[in-house]
Chain A
C-alpha cells in the first residue's frame, strides 16, 4: 500500500492508496473505485474509450497518472454525468437514437461530446465531427453518435 491520495470523483471525496503514484487514473477508477464508465481501449491515448472529465475537460484517463492530478481537481465519469437521477441530455439522446452497437466506445463518445456541448452548446455538424475525430469506434456507429449529439444539442 502506498501513500493515501484524496480525490473527488463524481462529487464524492475518496481516498486511494496505490502502490505506485504513477498508476494511471483509469485503473484507479476501474479497479479501486469499481467504476464501469471509463474503459480500457489502448492505454496509449489513441482511442478515447477511457475518457473522463477533470474539472470539466475531457481527459484520457489511461495516460493520466494519478500523480498528475492536483488536490481539489474534480473527476467526473460517465456514472457521474446524470444530475440527481436525471440522465444527461446526451445519455437520453443516445438511447433515442439507439446510438450503440457494442457500446464499448460510447463512454468516450458521450464524455467527449459532453465537454464539447458544455463549451459550445450549438456546434455545427463539422464541429461535432472534429471534436470526435480522436475517438475511435470499430462497430461503425458514427452516424448515430453524431445524430445523438445533434439531438442533445437541440434539447439544450
Chain B
C-alpha cells in the first residue's frame, strides 16, 4: 500500500478555489434550482469534462459515478496523471445532469474502460493546449516545454508558468481530440499505484454524507405503501386509520400509488405501517415450485444466435460420447445494505432530484416523462448511497419522491424500508440453460450446443414503480441487461452453436445485478465443460488448455493454477469420510473480448448435512492496464464474496401474489464465519488498454464451486443456489 502524500507540494499562494463553473460538489449548497449555470456537457467538449481554476485546481466532471467501488479515486488518479497535477488538486463532480457529460449508466464494468478513457483523452487534449498556450506566453517551442505539478517550464530549466494563468475563465473551448497523445505509461507516477481511497477517512469517521444523509430545509419525510399483491388495484384508503399519528402531513394517493408524507421519519414509518387500505386481489405470479416449467413454457419472441461455428447440430450425433445437462440459476435481489433513498423538490415548475442512481441522465428522462415536464426542467444530482450492484431501487425511490413532492409542495425525502427493497427492487431474472456436447474418441469436444431461456430485452430504462402504479407514462418493455453475453464459449471447438431463446415475460420486474447473464451463463458453460473433462478422464486444467490458443487466457489459467498449487488429476477425487474436500477450476474471457479471469475454488462438503464451506479462492486476473492495484483487489474480493453468497444461499421467494423474502432472515446472505480466504494474482499490462474489473471475477465463482463440489464428492450441482438439500440430493445420486 502506498500512502500518497496528498499535499506534498503547495503550488501557488492564495488558495481560494475558484472553479470556472462554480456549482459543484455535493450538499445543500447547490440545492437552489433545477438548472445550473450553463456549462458545456457535450462529451465532444474538453470543458464538459474539465475546469481549471486560476490557482491551479482542476474539477473533473464525470458522468460515471462511484457506486462504492472506489472509482472516484481511480478517475482522479487518471486525470491528475494526465494533467500532471498533484492528486489533491483534482476533485470530481459525478452524475449531475446539469454539470456532467452523459457517459452512459455506471454499469457493465465500463467506468474506467470507457468513462475513464474519455476523461483521459479530454485531459490529454487539455494538457496539449496548456503547452501550446505556454509556448506562446514564454516564447518557446512546445516541444521544449514540460509539465510538472501544474506548472509548464522549459525542459532545460528557466522560468515557468502555472496552468491557471494560461486560461481565461478556466475554459478551454476546445473539442476533445482523439489524436491527442496521452502520456507514455512509462512516465506514470500516479496511475498503477495503490493510492489510498479518498473517501475512506470520511467514511470511517462518520463524516461522509451518503444519499441517505442528504437534507434540505423544509424537507418532509415520505414512505411508500406498496400493494399487497403485484397488480392489485387500490380500492379505498381509510384516512382515519392514521389520524392519531402525530406529525402526519398527508396521505398521497395517485392511482395505485399510495404514499405517506410526515414531518418526521418515524411518523412516516408509523403511518405507513398503520394505514388501512383496501386492495383488490391479484395472483399474477407463477407457482414457484414449478418455476422452471414455467420458464420453459414461456413464449419465445426471438432467438439470438450468439455463436455459430461449423455445424454443431449436424455433428452432435456421432462416435464418442454425448452428454446433456440442464442448469438453472435462481431469481436474486440486489440487497444493498442501505435501502434506496431519494430527495425531490419541485419548485416553480422545476424538479430537482438527489439520488444514488447509477444512471442520472437516463433517470432524468424517465422523471420528465412521468411528471410531464420538459427535460430542461429536470435535474438529477448524484450522491453516493449504499453499495450499488446494478439497477436496484434508487431510481424508483426517486420517482416516489417526485410524486410525493408534487403532491405536498415541499421537498420530500423517501427512504425505502428493508421490505420495500427486498420486495420491490427489480430482480435478477431466472436463467435456464440446456447444454449438450459430444466427446470424440480421443476425448476432445467435437460439438457443443447450448440453449439459454432468458427474458427478452437489453439494458435500458427499467420502468419506475411509481409511474407504473400511478398510471403515468412509463416504459413497457423489460430491461434485464445485456444478459446474452458469455453464452458463447471462449474455446476453439470445431462445432459450436449457442442460442438464446428470448422470453416474452419473466415473473418479477427484471434488471441487472452485478455480472448480469455473464455470471449465470458462465456457471453453466464452465460447469458443463468440467463434466466433459470428467467424462474424458482428463485433468480440468489440461482439458481447458487443449482448446485454448489465446495467450492471455492461457496465462491466467496457469497463474491461477500455480497460485492454488493445482494438483493435476481428473475429477472427482475418490475419498471417504464425513468432510469431503475438493478443488474446482473456472475461466472466463469477459464478454469474449476483454478482462480474463481464472480461479480455483477449494471447498469442504459435509456429507451428513449437505453444507458446503468454500475455504479458499485463488484468482488470477488480467484486466489490461491497472489504475489502482489495491482498488482492483478490493473489487475482486467483493466479487468473490458476493458471488459465493449468491451461489450458496440466495433465492428470492414468492407466492402467487408477491415476493415473500422481505428481510435478511428470509433472504440470508453470507456472514463472516462463512467467508473464504482469497489469494489474488494481478497481471498488470501498463501498455495495454484498461479493462473493467468491477464485474468479471464474479463470473467464475459459481462454476468453480460447482466443480470443486464435484471433485470432492462426485455430486454435480446444476441448480443455484447450492442449498444443503440440493447437495444431499446430489450426494445420493452418486
Q: In whole angstroms, what is the CA distance A37 to B670 when docked?
A: 24
Check B208 for interface membership: any CB of A closer than 8 A: yes
Selected contact of A133 from candidates B637, B638, B671, CB within 8 Å? B671
Contact bitstring A32-46, B, C-beta under 8 A = 1, else 0: 001111011111101
In B629-683, the 8 Å CB interface with A consists of 630, 634-635, 637-642, 645, 663-665, 669-673, 675, 677-678
Check A4 for interface membership: any CB of B closer than 8 A: no
Q: In whole angstroms, what is the CA distance A110 to B206 when docked?
A: 11
Contacts of A82 in B (CB 8 A): 205
Check A75 for interface membership: any CB of B closer than 8 A: no
Contact A87 B1 (CB under 8 A): no
**B388: nearest residue on chain A (CB-CB)?**
A102
Given contacts A40-B415, A101-B70, contact A136 B671 (CB under 8 A): yes
Contact A103 B199 (CB under 8 A): yes
Contacts of B712 in A (CB 8 A): none
Give B359 Cβ to nearest chain A Cβ, in Å. 17
Contact A102 B642 (CB under 8 A): no
Check B320 for interface membership: any CB of A closer than 8 A: no
Most buried by B among A36, A91, A102, A104: A102
Contacts of A58 in B (CB 8 A): none
Contact B677 A143 (CB under 8 A): yes
Contact A140 B664 (CB under 8 A): no
Contact A31 B264 (CB under 8 A): yes
Check B375 for interface membership: any CB of A closer than 8 A: no
Contact B68 A102 (CB under 8 A): yes
Contact B669 A101 (CB under 8 A): no
Contacts of B264 in A (CB 8 A): 18-19, 23, 27, 31
Give A84 Cβ to nearest chain B Cβ, in Å. 14
Check B337 for interface membership: any CB of A closer than 8 A: yes
Contact B203 A100 (CB under 8 A): yes
Q: In whole angstroms, what is the CA distance A106 to B205 when docked?
A: 10
Contacts of A42 in B (CB 8 A): 339, 418, 663-664
Contacts of A47 in B (CB 8 A): 337, 664
Q: In whole angstroms, what is the CA distance A126 to B674 when docked?
A: 11
Give A91 Cβ to nearest chain B Cβ, in Å. 5
Check B313 for interface membership: any CB of A closer than 8 A: no
Contacts of A77 in B (CB 8 A): 206
Contact B266 A140 (CB under 8 A): no
Contact B642 A104 (CB under 8 A): no
Contact bitstring B200-212, A, C-beta under 8 A = 1, else 0: 1101111111101
Contact bitstring A131-146, B, C-beta under 8 A = 1, else 0: 0111111111111111
In B179-207, the 8 Å CB interface with A consists of 196-197, 199-201, 203-207
Q: In whole angstroms, what is the CA distance A77 to B208 when docked?
A: 14
Contact A106 B669 (CB under 8 A): no
Contacts of B675 in A (CB 8 A): 129, 140, 142-143
Most buried by B among A20, A98, A141: A98
Contact bitstring A116-134, B, C-beta under 8 A = 1, else 0: 0000000000101110111
Contact bitstring A11-23, B, C-beta under 8 A = 1, else 0: 0000000111001
Given contacts A133-B673, A142-B675, contact A49 B338 (CB under 8 A): yes
Contact B337 A46 (CB under 8 A): no
Contacts of B645 in A (CB 8 A): 140
Check B25 for interface membership: any CB of A closer than 8 A: no
Give A143 Cβ to nearest chain B Cβ, in Å. 6
Known: A87-B205, A104-B386, A142-B641. 20 other contacts (CB 8 A): A18-B264, A36-B208, A36-B209, A36-B210, A41-B339, A41-B418, A46-B663, A95-B201, A98-B1, A100-B197, A101-B68, A102-B384, A102-B385, A129-B673, A133-B673, A136-B664, A139-B337, A140-B637, A140-B639, A141-B641
Binding site for A on B (CB under 8 A): 1, 67-70, 196-197, 199-201, 203-210, 212-213, 215, 246-247, 264-267, 269-270, 335-339, 384-389, 415, 417-418, 630, 634-635, 637-642, 645, 663-665, 669-673, 675, 677-678
Show 13 residue pairs from A and B whose CB-CB distance is below 8 angstroms, ordered by the A residue. Answer: A27-B266, A34-B215, A36-B206, A98-B634, A101-B69, A102-B337, A104-B337, A129-B672, A133-B671, A136-B337, A138-B389, A140-B640, A143-B678
